[in-house]
Amino acid sequence: MVAPNEGRVGSMKGYSHIHDEPPEPGSNGYLDWEETDLIVFYWIVDSIENDIIADFAYHQTSKALWDNLAITFESKADPYLVYDLEDKIISIRQGNLDLETYYHRLHGLWVNVDRSQKQPVTCCDKGIEQYRQHASEKRLIIFLT
């Protein structure tokens, strides 16, 4: 009989793979750790946009991959970067792109804007929700035009 969590990669096993240093190769339990790490690595890679997977998938462990992603996409307020991204958003045109590709590019820019700026409202949940609604409406208009 198998215990409910035995043999599964859940928060008990997977979380440690992005936060703890890996065991030494050849040490007791290394093969089990390596098998679980491959699963966690796949989960992370499967969540990365296809356009940038090659930039990150060369890492040997899920922790190394996770750490590199954290450094690359760490949220920092950068007004110059936000300006550049918003300029690209205004300038982008569908042209001969199919609708899915066009939306994918716009969405990627919007995600980067969100990561690169401080949220202007911090006072209460209602204010944050109002800002998000305003941003969504603005983005819909940009997408449709």
Output the average pLDDT for the chain.
Answer: 77
Quote the CA–CA distance of 48 and 15 in Å, as a whole number: 18
Q: What percent of the chain has pLDDT over 70?
A: 78
Question: Residue 116 in contact with residue 81, Cβ under 8 Å?
Answer: yes
**pLDDT per residue over 114-123, tens digit each?**
777 766 555 5
The count of other CB atoms within 10 Å of the CB of residue 88 is 14
**pLDDT per residue over 5-57, tens digit each?**
444 444 446 788 888 888 888 899 899 899 999 998 888 888 887 777 777 77
User: What pLDDT is recorded for position 22?
Assistant: 87
Quote the CA–CA distance of 32 and 27 in Å, as a whole number: 10
The count of other CB atoms within 10 Å of the CB of residue 65 is 22
Quote the CA–CA distance of 125 and 132 in Å, as a whole number: 11
Task: Answer with the residue of higher pLDDT: 60 or 128.
Answer: 60
The count of other CB atoms within 10 Å of the CB of residue 67 is 14
The whole-number average pLDDT for the span 90-102 is 90
Task: Answer with the residue of higher pLDDT: 114 or 86.
Answer: 86
Banded pLDDT at 98 (limits 50, 70, 90): very high
37: burial class by Cβ within 10 Å (0-12, 13-18, 19+)?
Answer: buried
User: What pLDDT is recorded for position 1?
Assistant: 39
Question: Residue 74 in contact with residue 81, Cβ under 8 Å?
Answer: no
Domain boundaries, the chain: 11-73, 79-144
User: Chain-centre distance of CA 50, in angstroms?
Assistant: 12
